[in-house]
Amino acid sequence: MPAPSTVRQAAAVVALEGVALLVVAGVLIVRAVGGAHEKSISGYGTAGWFVVMGAAVLTSGWALWTGRRWGRGIAVFAQLLLLPVAWYVAVGSQQWSYGVPIALVAVAALALLFSPSAVQWLSQDPASADNSSPDTR
């Protein structure tokens, strides 16, 4: 059984989040190369963190899009990490115009990932699924 449309919609959202993280990494690298230095953080180190996280989230989106169930765990974890980030941005930094959309995207992705069709797809017998991962039984 191929991935349902809700999983593919979640895959698109998650993949876009991964791309956004990679774009932020690129901006941080360009700023660091351009001479922007901050006392408390390293532009290159922060960019490296965004590259690692962005690659993981983008890979998760690809996995979901192609029907690989393991991508769901990474996607759910990423969304759960986004919720406190959104809270900090909205409440802690008083940037409601950034924090609220971040929270809405995370909640929407979680709703798609936990929709009845996604849960049913996840609970099907792996032996009957069209799964290209190796059999480890």
* Length reported for the chain: 137
Q: Is there a contact between 7 and 113 (Cβ–Cβ < 8 Å)?
A: yes
Pairwise CA distance, residues 56 & 24, whole Å: 15
pLDDT confidence band for 96 (50 / 70 / 90): very high
What are the residue boundaries of the structural domains of the chain, listed by start?
5-118
pTM of the model: 0.84
Nearest to 54 by CA among 84, 24, 11: 24
Is there a contact between 10 and 109 (Cβ–Cβ < 8 Å)?
A: yes
Q: How does residue 34 score in pLDDT terms, banded at 50, 70 and 90?
A: confident
Q: What is the pLDDT of residues 42-86, one digit of tens each?
A: 888 999 999 999 999 999 999 999 999 999 999 999 999 999 999
Question: Across the chain, what does the average pLDDT equal?
Answer: 91
Rounded CA separation 18/23 (Å):
9
